[in-house]
Amino acid sequence: MSKQTLTITDNRTGNTIELPIEHDTIPAIGLRQLKVQADDFGMMAYDPGYTNTASCKSRITYVDGDKGILRYRGYPIEQLAEKSTFLEVAHLLLFGELPTASKLTDWNARIMAHTQIDKDLKGVLKTFRGDAHPMGILISAVAAMSTLYPEAKQVHDSEIRLQQVVRVLGQLPTAVAFAYQNLLGRPHTDPDGALGYSENFLHMMGLTGDGEVDPVLARAMDVLFILHADHEQNCSTSALRNIASSDADPYCALAGAVAALYGPLHGGANEAVLRMLAEIGDTKKIPAFLERVKNREVRLMGFGHRVYKNYDPRAQIVKKIAYEVFDVTGSNPLIDIAVALEQAALEDDYFVSRRLYPNVDFYSGIIYQAMGFPVEIFPVLFALGRAPGWLAQWMELMDDAEQRIARPRQIFLGEAERAYLPIGERG
């Protein structure tokens, strides 16, 4: 076997260093040996947006962006979406294994037994204005949970940790539904622990058609949650890991993750896609819209991905679910615009040469809208789905002896030392 090292020659000095290669990676700290003077700081790697920096070792989610592969704990997303349930996937992400039948029954029961929310949290959720964005409310709700469960600060106690995981998974859908009904001035519907996870959520949201949640819609919601459940070191997960690396409690770390997800380049994209499709309004206007994208006036929302340079496997599944949902709800006219827009983009050299394909957000909003969700709540649905992934990444971080507080370096390009000038002497 060839030698697993990388030799670097510093042409400023002629010095050579040899760094170990492990998992096709070199330890960045090794670069610090490269110095011109003995008392120099040494070299660093510059990587805005962390495009080529591994921040952790993880065993949870595998993405091969060139081949369009996504696996949770080794299981292909296509199989999980077809055969599994969201809470089963949450168990898989959190504990590394698919549960046995009896473990799954216990796990489902444990989560569903924690769906009630504290009256003080209800009080917080009632304080928002009628036009408050649901993501702002969700950030606040998760942060408020930190004040209600102060024992959560004991982040190195695995039993206490698990208790918070159960609370988050159980309570978040209730908090979202409570806030939503409150914004609409409608009475709150209590959670029903006898229902499935997604069925209960749709029930609390009032998306019950003639009285009961349609099983096709409950299953579609569950699959959409599965598709969003984890995606390795994305912006929100990295934000969560950064915050949690200071031993902040999981609610504070999750509030930061939800905040990162809110942005339109990340989880806010599903909302932005819907607004974009509504703005295009007619397939005839697609060529003019794509011209605006190519002129860099706007981005084609729901397209492109930092990691996928091939079709996002989640988008393929979402597109299929759309038609299953439409069989129940009736079609969403925006689907025709979306399909035509996708086709036009995939035939256009601008998108082909940059390897831009639809991502998970391109079709999900069309389904949410058909199911009766308002556009503003779409990123919240992403957050509900992502919760087990964030929690699994947090648990992994807490048990990772190699991790330290996140503290990147910078290249300082500001002023060198200057003497303070009294105000009367400034020009």
The catalytic site residues sit at: 266, 305, 361
Q: How many angstroms separate the CA atoms of 62 and 72, rounded?
A: 6
Q: Which of 12, 59, 275, 306 binds ligand CMC (CB under 6 A)?
A: 306
* Per-position x/- string for 101-120, each x denoting binding to ligand CMC as judged by CB under 6 A, each - no binding: --------------------
* Residues within window 316-355 making contact with ligand CMC, judged by CB under 6 A: 354
Q: Give least dist CB 51 to ligand CMC, A.
A: 7
CA atoms within 13 A on the CB side of 261: 33
Query: Which amino acid is located at 219 in the chain?
Result: R
Q: Give least dist CB 60 to ligand CMC, A.
A: 15
Per CB under 6 A, 134 contacts ligand CMC: no
* Residues within window 39-58 making contact with ligand CMC, judged by CB under 6 A: none
| Closer Cβ to ligand CMC, 167 or 231, answer by number | 231
Per CB under 6 A, 360 contacts ligand CMC: yes
Per CB under 6 A, 305 contacts ligand CMC: yes
Stretch of residues binding ligand CMC (CB under 6 A), selected from 21-29, 197-205, 294-302, 415-423: 294-302
Q: Which of 173, 191, 250, 302 binds ligand CMC (CB under 6 A)?
A: 302
Per CB under 6 A, 257 contacts ligand CMC: no
| Closer Cβ to ligand CMC, 191 or 256, answer by number | 256
Q: Give least dist CB 168 to ligand CMC, A.
A: 20
Place of tokens 């050299």: 349
Q: Which is nearest to 260 in space by CA: 138, 171, 177, 365? A: 138
Q: Give least dist CB 153 to ligand CMC, A.
A: 30
Could you count the other beta carbons within 10 Å of the beta carbon of residue 63?
21
Q: Which of 93, 137, 293, 387 binds ligand CMC (CB under 6 A)?
A: 293
Residues in the interface with ligand CMC (CB under 6 A) total 20
The tokens describing 31, both together, are 């670069």
* Neighbouring-strand partners of residue 18: 7
Degrees to nearest 5, angle at CA 375 with 374 and 379: 115
Stretch of residues binding ligand CMC (CB under 6 A), selected from 62-70, 159-167, 292-300, 391-399: 292-300
CB distance 115 to 170 below 8 Å: yes
Which segments of 158-249 does DSSP mark as H helices, in order? 158-183, 197-204, 215-228, 235-244
* Residues within window 265-284 making contact with ligand CMC, judged by CB under 6 A: 265-267, 269
Phi, psi of 72 (to 5 degrees): -100, 120
Q: What's the N-to-C CA distance of the chain in angstroms?
A: 67
Q: Which of 199, 230, 342, 361 binds ligand CMC (CB under 6 A)?
A: 361
Q: Give least dist CB 61 to ligand CMC, A.
A: 12
Q: How many angstroms separate the CA atoms of 387 and 362, rounded?
A: 21
Q: How many angstroms separate the CA atoms of 318 and 340, rounded?
A: 16
| Minimal CB distance residue for ligand CMC | 304
CB distance 274 to 369 below 8 Å: yes
* Residues within window 215-234 making contact with ligand CMC, judged by CB under 6 A: 231, 234
Q: Give least dist CB 370 to ligand CMC, A.
A: 20
| Closer Cβ to ligand CMC, 88 or 230, answer by number | 230
Q: How many angstroms separate the CA atoms of 126 and 109, rounded?
A: 28
Q: Give least dist CB 412 to ligand CMC, A.
A: 24
Q: How far is CA 265 from the centre of its chain?
A: 11
* Residues within window 70-89 making contact with ligand CMC, judged by CB under 6 A: none
| Closer Cβ to ligand CMC, 134 or 267, answer by number | 267
Q: Which of 299, 324, 348, 375 binds ligand CMC (CB under 6 A)?
A: 299
Stretch of residues binding ligand CMC (CB under 6 A), selected from 112-120, 175-183, 195-203, 300-308: 300-308
Q: Which is nearest to 262 in space by CA: 369, 424, 136? A: 136
Q: How many angstroms separate the CA atoms of 63 and 233, rounded?
A: 10
DSSP codes of every residue in 413-425 = -S--------GGG
Task: For 120-147, give the secondary structure using H, E and C.
Answer: HHHHHHCCCCCCCCHHHHHHHHHHHHHH
CB distance 176 to 138 below 8 Å: yes
- Encode burial over 393-405: b for 16+ CB neighbours within 10 A, e otherwise: bbbbbbeeeebee
Per CB under 6 A, 300 contacts ligand CMC: yes
Q: Give least dist CB 232 to ligand CMC, A.
A: 10
Q: Rule CB under 6 A: which residues touch ligand CMC? A: 231, 234, 265-267, 269, 293, 299-306, 354, 356, 359-361
